[in-house]
């Protein structure tokens, strides 16, 4: 196990480093202290050849200019908060409207564009990088000074773990996610990739992708990945659904089942490389994102974003997303690779 640290550029006079974590099995992960970004994941396929498993950019400026949150830690609140506002304890909070008429992924002051402090840890069994930052009271319109710690670790079992913890001095909504664009296949599109999501329902949404508060059963719809299924098989099935047709692909929040600790919430497998990834999380929702599957600029990647439900600050029927002083928010995301 080893960590290599190298300079990747500067942002407003602050040095951005690339931290490359490598285990003894040929798996490596490169992280940036800009945005807490996963820049690269390399894993050997069934022939022993290294495969790039996430989309990446070559330069820091590419990440600075990127509007798509590629590889970044997203906060203070992942996904949408309706109409850029929410009420809490009798006070109305006004947020950035950066996702159409809604607040998206924490707004203009999102964590994906922050320079995080970093420290490294090495043991015989794992290597880790811990990123920290403080978001001041009122940033982006949110209440509370929030202290965040995000620890990435890689072990000899080919497991990349991300644990994000946070505390606040005022009650506030929190939801963090990791926004990697996974590419386990060599195929330029994701249609042949097999996907399983351990969820019977997705949250319904309107034409702006804001939840209505209702839930939709996945059975007999393009959202049904309760068994490993090729993505295009579901996307192209004859019985579609209006919620799917609004996107022409996937950008939907799955309501995860309560599962045993060692059962993954999602699995992905590419048949051409033989590489599989299992995702484990303690969060209640999972945003599955491909963008429009029939457009010319198809991503060729998929995102699986563990999260609290979109617009939960305005939907008391959704799982609680509010954190009070004295409480510790914890989000756990583990990605186990195999071939």
> What's the pLDDT tens digit per position in 125-156?
999 999 999 999 999 999 999 999 999 999 99
pLDDT at 297: 64
In the set 105, 112, 179, 252, the catalytic residue is: 179
Distances (CA, A) of 102 to 54, 94, 99, 211: 28, 11, 5, 11
Q: Kindly state the average pLDDT of the residues 195-209.
A: 97
Q: State pLDDT tens for residues 276-334.
A: 999 999 999 999 999 888 765 667 899 999 999 999 999 999 999 999 999 999 999 99
Rounded Cα–Cα distance for residues 141 and 84 (Å): 9
Q: Is 305 designated active site?
A: yes
Q: State pLDDT tens for residues 81-114.
A: 999 999 999 999 999 999 999 999 999 999 999 9
pLDDT at 259: 87
Q: Kindly state the average pLDDT of the residues 242-270.
A: 94
Q: Are 279 and 266 in contact (CB under 8 A)?
A: yes
Distances (CA, A) of 16 to 86, 134, 149, 180: 35, 17, 18, 19
Domain boundaries, the chain: 2-338
Select from 75, 69, 93 the least CA-distant residue to 313.
93
Query: Which residues carry a binding-site annotation for beta-D-galactose?
Result: 79-80, 179-181, 251
> How long a stretch of residues is the chain?
339
**Cβ contacts of 264 within 8 Å, gap of 6 or more:** 198, 278, 279, 280, 336
Q: Where are the alpha helices (H) located in the chain, listed in sequence order?
A: 60-65, 231-235, 242-245
Q: Is 308 designated active site?
A: no
pLDDT at 300: 87
**The pair of three-digit structure tokens given for residue 121, joined into one six-digit string:** 């840890």
Q: Is the pLDDT of residue 252 over 90?
A: yes
Choose between 43 and 262: higher pLDDT: 43
Question: Dihedral of CA 313/319/322/328: which sign?
Answer: negative
Rounded Cα–Cα distance for residues 248 and 87 (Å): 33
Select from 247, 249, 265, 274 the least CA-distant residue to 193.
274
pLDDT at 49: 97
Which run of H or of E encompasses 289?
Answer: strand 285-292
pLDDT at 226: 98
Q: Are 193 and 231 in contact (CB under 8 A)?
A: yes
Integer Rg of the chain from CA:
19
Distances (CA, A) of 115 to 6, 124, 224: 16, 29, 39
Instruction: Report the phi/psi class of residue 296: left, alpha or beta, with left for phi > 0 and alpha for psi in -120 to 50.
Output: alpha
In the set 139, 252, 305, 308, the catalytic residue is: 305
Tell me the fold of 2-338.
Answer: Beta-galactosidase; Chain A, domain 5 (2.70.98)
Average pLDDT, the chain: 96
How many angstroms from the chain centroid is the CA of residue 327? Answer: 23
pLDDT at 298: 66
Residue 20: band (very low, low, confident or very high) from pLDDT cuts 50, 70, 90 = very high
pLDDT at 294: 73
Query: Which residues carry a binding-site annotation?
Result: 79-80, 179-181, 251
Select from 174, 175, 195, 173 the least CA-distant residue to 184.
195
**Cβ contacts of 197 within 8 Å, gap of 6 or more:** 225, 226, 254, 256, 265, 266, 286, 288
């Amino acid at each position: 196990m080893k960590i290599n640290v190298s300079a990747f550029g500067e942002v407003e006079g602050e040095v951005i480093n690339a931290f490359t974590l490598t285990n003894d099995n040929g798996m490596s992960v490169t992280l940036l202290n800009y945005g807490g970004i996963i820049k690269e994941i390399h894993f050997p396929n069934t022939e022993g050849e290294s495969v790039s498993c996430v989309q990446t950019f070559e330069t820091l400026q590419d990440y600075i200019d990127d509007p798509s949150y590629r590889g970044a830690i997203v906060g203070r609140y992942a996904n949408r908060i309706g109409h850029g506002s929410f009420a809490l304890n009798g006070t109305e909070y006004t947020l950035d409207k950066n996702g159409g008429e809604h607040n998206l992924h924490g707004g203009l002051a999102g964590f994906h564009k922050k320079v995080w402090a970093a420290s490294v840890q090495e043991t015989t069994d794992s290597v880790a990088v811990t990123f920290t930052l403080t978001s001041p009271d009122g940033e982006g319109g949110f209440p509370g000074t929030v202290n965040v710690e995000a620890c990435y670790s890689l072990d000899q079992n080919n497991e990349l773990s991300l644990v994000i913890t946070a505390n606040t001095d005022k009650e506030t909504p929190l939801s963090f996610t990791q926004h990697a664009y996974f590419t386990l296949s060599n195929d330029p599109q994701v249609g042949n990739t097999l996907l399983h999501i351990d969820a019977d329902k997705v949250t319904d949404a309107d034409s702006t992708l804001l939840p209505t508060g209702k839930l939709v059963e996945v059975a007999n719809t393009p959202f049904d990945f309760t068994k490993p299924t090729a993505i295009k098989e579901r996307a192209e099935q004859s019985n579609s659904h209006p919620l799917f047709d609004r996107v022409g692909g996937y950008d939907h929040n799955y309501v995860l089942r309560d599962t045993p600790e060692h059962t993954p919430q999602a699995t992905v497998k590419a048949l051409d490389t033989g590489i599989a990834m299992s995702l484990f999380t303690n969060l209640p929702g999972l945003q599955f994102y491909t963008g429009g599957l029939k457009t010319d600029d198809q991503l060729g990647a998929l995102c699986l974003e563990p999260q609290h439900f979109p617009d939960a600050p305005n939907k008391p029927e959704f799982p609680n997303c509010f954190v009070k002083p004295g409480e510790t928010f914890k989000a756990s995301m583990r990605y186990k690779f195999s071939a």
